Amino acid sequence: MAYPVTRMRRLRSNAHIRSLVRETNLDHADLVLPIFIREGIDQPYPISGMPNVMVQSLASLEEEVKSCLDSGLHAVMLFGIPVQKDALGSSAYSEDNITVASIMALKDKFQEDIVVMADLCLDEYSDHGHCGIVGADGKVQNDETLVLYSKIALLYAKAGVDFVAPSGMMDGQVGAIRSSLDSAGYHNTAILAYSAKYASALYGPFREAVDVSIANGGDRKTYQQDIGNASESLREIALDIEEGADMVMVKPAITNLDIIAKAKEKFNFPLAAYQVSGEYSMVLATAAKGMFDARATAYEMLLSIKRAGADAIITYFAKEIVSYL
Ligand code: PBG
């Protein structure tokens, strides 16, 4: 006797039936494309560890964003790479900062058509590669760093950024930035907090892109989270919400689907996930060997991140996937 067809199976019969009952869809409006902009270059150039990703010049940025808009993408996350790196990351909070110039160029040209987020951190600007300033004891100085983060936030806000995105995992960074923004009258500048950010090996290709190496073979384990911990993420997120974050983030994404799901369930608060450089590069490196299809794999991962509970996804696949949807 044949096993009777189950109800679940009946609803898989064809593509239209499957879409009727699909619980989660990936939409172009969920995606944010990270963009690297390097000060002092004339031409965009490729990143060897991140196929199809270019480091943009200030001039080519506009074209890149125009092509995003044409394909239906309306949100970007900017990462500036300065000419000068020093111990205090001083080009991060100088008026002619490359990220500030990029924000101004995009807001001048596209206004509300593009949501501009800007990563706020010191690592791209410091010669030691840490996310904060380093004291005489060799340790990252939390409170001294907050003062600098607040300065950067004000510069970004003044330039017209929609979201500042503090990624340095300093304690109190969201509260410090919110109160500086508010006291300067930037009540509408939102904060996307990198709240649950793990000390991950998957940031490797990104470090090449932004030209960062951590001094003396160091790591970020004293300020980014330990991979083995889950409940810690919920405490980090709770703190950021309390301090005034408008959106919170879990990062990396695919290794932290459990955290995304728990965060969504516990807080039901606007939630982003960052599919980081290593997640991107491993898909393309494997696909290049013919082992699977890159787009189908990327789509599956992004849809799973969404299904886990992310509202928005920051991904280097954004442009590619939008044309696939
Ligand atoms: C810090 C920052 C990093 C990433 C985003 N913001 C690197 C780090 O924490 O070491 C990683 C993103 C990626 O790997 O795609 N400014």
Reply yes or no on whether 251 is catalytic: yes
| Structure letter (DSSP) for residue 202 | G
DSSP assignments along 74-139, one per residue: -EEEEEEE-S--BTT-GGGGSTT-HHHHHHHHHHHHHGGGSEEEEEE-STTTBSS--SS-B-TTSS
Neighbours of 59 (CB within 10 A): 13
Distance 206 CA to ligand 1 centre (A): 6
Cα 193 → chain centroid: 10
Structure tokens at 12: 């898989």
Distance 315 CA to ligand 1 centre (A): 12
DSSP assignments along 207-243, one per residue: HHHTT---GGG--STTTSBPTT-SHHHHHHHHHHHHH
pLDDT at 325: 86
Question: Which residue owns the Cα nearest ligand 1 atom 11?
Answer: 203
CA of 277, closest atom in ligand 1: 15
Looking at the structure, give the CATH architecture of the domain made up of residues 32-324. Answer: Alpha-Beta Barrel (3.20)
pLDDT at 282: 98
For the whole model, what pTM was predicted?
A: 0.97
Consecutive 10-residue runs of the chain (325 residues): their mean pLDDT? 91 97 97 98 97 98 97 97 96 96 98 98 96 95 98 98 98 98 98 98 95 92 97 98 98 98 98 98 98 98 98 97 90
Contact yes or no for 302/280 (Cβ under 8 A): no
Most ligand 1 atoms within 8 A of CB, residue of 55, 121, 202 to mutate: 121
